[in-house]
Structure 1
Amino acid sequence: MTEALYAKVYEALRARITDGVWSEGDRLPSQESLGAEFAVSPITVNRALDLLRDDGYVTRRPRIGTVVASRASTQRERAASLPLIAYVLPGFDDAFGTWLLNGLLHSATKRARVVVTNSRGDTRLEEDLIEEQIEHGIDGLILQPSSSRFIPPAVATLIGRRFPIVIVDRTLPGTPVSTVTSDNVNGGRLAAEHLFELGHTQLALVTSANPVSTLDARRRGVVDAHAARHVRLAPEHVLTEVGPIVPGSPVASGGDIERIATFLNDHPEVTGCVTSEYGIALVVLHAAKRAGRSIPEDLSVVSFDAPAGFDEAAVPLTHIEQDQHTIGGRAFTLLQQQLQEPSSVAQETVPVRLVKGASSGPAPS
């Protein structure tokens, strides 16, 4: 792996201190001078000087500058100068999140230290956690935001500073930030096309009002599949009143189950259903049972994601599978690129695939 630029500057300056080129009390050259010498940005120099301060080699004071404090580190040697990365997410479970985290940690092995914190889908807690990690001196941030319509002020500040940051499973339109997402539009399209191919003509989309770009993209895919067949997704067949479901939290709400059961009773023409999240699919299965609908004889259901070993469930779900491991690995790679070049920004989309289960079948005759 190519060593981060700030780590190279850090090692060079540390060597001058430990070798006696600079003595205790000597003031280091300005950030501008060091930037010109090493051909790096002021941000890179600033990170290197912060590392020297954290390890006890220098002190940094306004109007005075950076001054040598000791020729020996007063801290334990940084673990091979590995960068410290924070991953802030709203929650995770075996359906979505566990394998993304696995991919991130796998890619970061011996390349970075990773701190994982859970916002539980609370935007205010999310903001606090980000600020807390910044105070702890992280070198980069990977964030799965709780919302795509609200950018935490701390994140906006970091983006303005060109601080290394990658957004996963979300997009922030109009914001110059690196992102890694699944191809959610194609996922929605594949789900609906599968039901059409089975002979279903009246489909429902059950989603939540959760303000994230992921769900909006999946809905667009379902609409595109209808448009390709020159039919319209009936507005009355789109149910968005299901409560937001955070991975790792309880999913079955009595109110949601009753609401979907009523919807199914009121719309007997609906024989196929696309759900935007695994947790919502579970609610639909409960609701179908309450409405007297058999799966898949009376109602076919296609979801996004399924936990490991889904094929052992009572009703193995036909679902759109996201390559979560790749998403996590690519997120770390993009962050690593920003550690090398702070202005690096990229948006990546990871392909999805349809996995057939026992929850979808031919349309009732």
Structure 2
Amino acid sequence: MNYNPVMSTGYKYKRIAESLRQRIRNGKYGEGELLPTTKMLAVEFNTTPVTIDRAIKLLVMEQLVTRTPGVGTTVLNQSRPTRSTTAPRLIGALLQVQTESRFWERLIEGVNDVLRPEGFSILIGYHNQELDVALEHARLFRDQGGEIVLFAPFDRPNVSRYEEDNAVMVTELRALGMEVIMLDRYIESVPGHFVSEYCYSMGKAMIESVIAKGYRHPICFSTDYVSVIGMRERAFLDGCRAAGLDTTDDRIVRVPLKTYQNRDYDTVVAALDQVAEWDVVVCLNSRIFNTLLYALARRDRTPLGGEPRFAGFVDIELMDLDRVVAYVEQPVREMGHAAGRMVKHLLTERSIEYQHALVPCELRVLDDD
């Protein structure tokens, strides 16, 4: 069996940006050199100048290049600045386990795009959803001079546990003398800094688009609670409501996170079989998307007679679009850039106000064959 994720490397402009990024870091384009013109790059990558401009804007945000009207795009100095001490400034990162799509690693790569040129180093620890493990890593960060911790909050079965456990963790980190920036999610019970996606409007628009295509019986597969899951569930229900469908809670099927992590396809299919009527499944993250796509690969018909269709939220562009109607892509690297800028702000401004950054997602509605 092939368990590889059905994902590619992202929207075309992001793939182009990654290609140019690697050329710069490998020395093909040196400091002070001009990149090929937008028109030349558009021909090379078989795309439009608008797509090239979007790719270049990412590199500008990462401080790899600068654009000068009438001149072009110039490569900047990529070496770290000389500091008065040999010890780099340290930032800690408490992350969840690695995923098939390298979500957390790609987010941290975005942080590094911003902070590495400034002489920062990032110490990474994986907390495995456990408070004691997270605190052990945090003490090591503190002992090595860490000033700020980037924290991916714990997933929990419900809102109250999510808020309670993560509030304890944030409080403990602050007691260790480190400021905290929450990544990809946030908590309501304790004010703090966070960087997250803004998925609600795109998610609601996705559901409305799916229903407008004629799918009148959407169901939603969800999982353990984090703030973004709550936001996506709300977008699903509000999209159904806006399209004139009922919004009873039985449209949402909640399956524990470990079921998806363990690729327990039988349990997932059994949960789906409990739903009497459905014609499209909306998946609330990439792991759910992959699990459902694989679990239903051999199922030809829905209870209503049509071929199973999918929509949902993913952290990387889908490659297998055979049964996909629409999806919303998370801005993973861009969230890392926002977190890196927030770190710099906190270390220079020392503001007493909490900083929030919401990075918009992108919606892709696929044409019917």
Structure 2 length-normalised TM: 0.66
**Is the alpha carbon distance of 1:99 and 1:334 closer, same or farther for their aligned partners in structure 2, counting shifts above 3 Å?**
same
| Separation of aligned partners in 1, 2:322 and 2:130 | 33
Aligned match of 1:252: 263
Of 102, 106, 125, which residue of structure 2 is paired with 1:99?
A: 106
| Separation of aligned partners in 2, 1:330 and 1:270 | 39
Q: Does 1:117 align with 2:125?
A: yes
**Is the alpha carbon distance of 1:355 and 1:124 closer, same or farther for their aligned partners in structure 2, counting shifts above 3 Å?**
farther
Of 237, 241, 244, which residue of structure 1 is paired with 2:251?
A: 237
Deviation of 1:98 after TM superposition, in Å, equals: 3.5
Alignment identity in percent?
15
Structure ID, larger Rg: 1
DSSP-derived class of the 1:151 partner:
helix
Aligned pairs (5 A) from 1:1-365: 78-79=85-86, 82-93=88-99, 94=101, 96-111=103-118, 112-147=120-155, 148-149=162-163, 150-151=165-166, 153-159=168-174, 163-208=178-223, 210-244=224-258, 250-263=261-274, 266-267=275-276, 269-289=277-297, 291-293=299-301, 298-307=307-316, 310-311=318-319, 318-340=326-348, 341=350, 343-356=352-365
| Separation of aligned partners in 1, 2:167 and 2:188 | 14
Deviation of 1:319 after TM superposition, in Å, equals: 2.2
Deviation of 1:163 after TM superposition, in Å, equals: 3.6
DSSP-derived class of the 1:97 partner:
helix
The code of the aligned residue for 1:108 comes to: L
**Is the alpha carbon distance of 1:275 and 1:312 closer, same or farther for their aligned partners in structure 2, counting shifts above 3 Å?**
closer
**Is the alpha carbon distance of 1:118 and 1:158 closer, same or farther for their aligned partners in structure 2, counting shifts above 3 Å?**
closer
| Separation of aligned partners in 2, 1:173 and 1:123 | 19
Aligned CA RMSD, in angstroms, stands at: 3.0
The code of the aligned residue for 1:92 comes to: Q
| Separation of aligned partners in 1, 2:177 and 2:346 | 9
Residue-by-residue CA offset, 1:303-362 (whole Å, 9 max, x unaligned): 211546x4267767842111111101111211221112052411121111112459xx59
Deviation of 1:211 after TM superposition, in Å, equals: 2.6
DSSP-derived class of the 2:269 partner:
helix
| Separation of aligned partners in 1, 2:295 and 2:307 | 13
What is the aligned residue count?
A: 275
Unaligned runs of 5+ in 2: 1-82, 156-161
| Separation of aligned partners in 2, 1:83 and 1:344 | 23
**Is the alpha carbon distance of 1:238 and 1:137 closer, same or farther for their aligned partners in structure 2, counting shifts above 3 Å?**
same
Structure 1 length-normalised TM: 0.66
Deviation of 1:225 after TM superposition, in Å, equals: 0.9
Deviation of 1:77 after TM superposition, in Å, equals: 6.9
Q: Contact between 1:242 and 1:256, CA under 8 Å: does it hold in 2?
A: no
| Separation of aligned partners in 2, 1:95 and 1:234 | 34
| Separation of aligned partners in 1, 2:172 and 2:131 | 16
**Is the alpha carbon distance of 1:192 and 1:277 closer, same or farther for their aligned partners in structure 2, counting shifts above 3 Å?**
same
Deviation of 1:164 after TM superposition, in Å, equals: 2.5
Deviation of 1:103 after TM superposition, in Å, equals: 0.6
**Is the alpha carbon distance of 1:97 and 1:317 closer, same or farther for their aligned partners in structure 2, counting shifts above 3 Å?**
farther
| Separation of aligned partners in 2, 1:124 and 1:161 | 14
**Is the alpha carbon distance of 1:113 and 1:142 closer, same or farther for their aligned partners in structure 2, counting shifts above 3 Å?**
same
Residue-by-residue CA offset, 1:88-128 (whole Å, 9 max, x unaligned): 11023326333212211111113211112222333432232
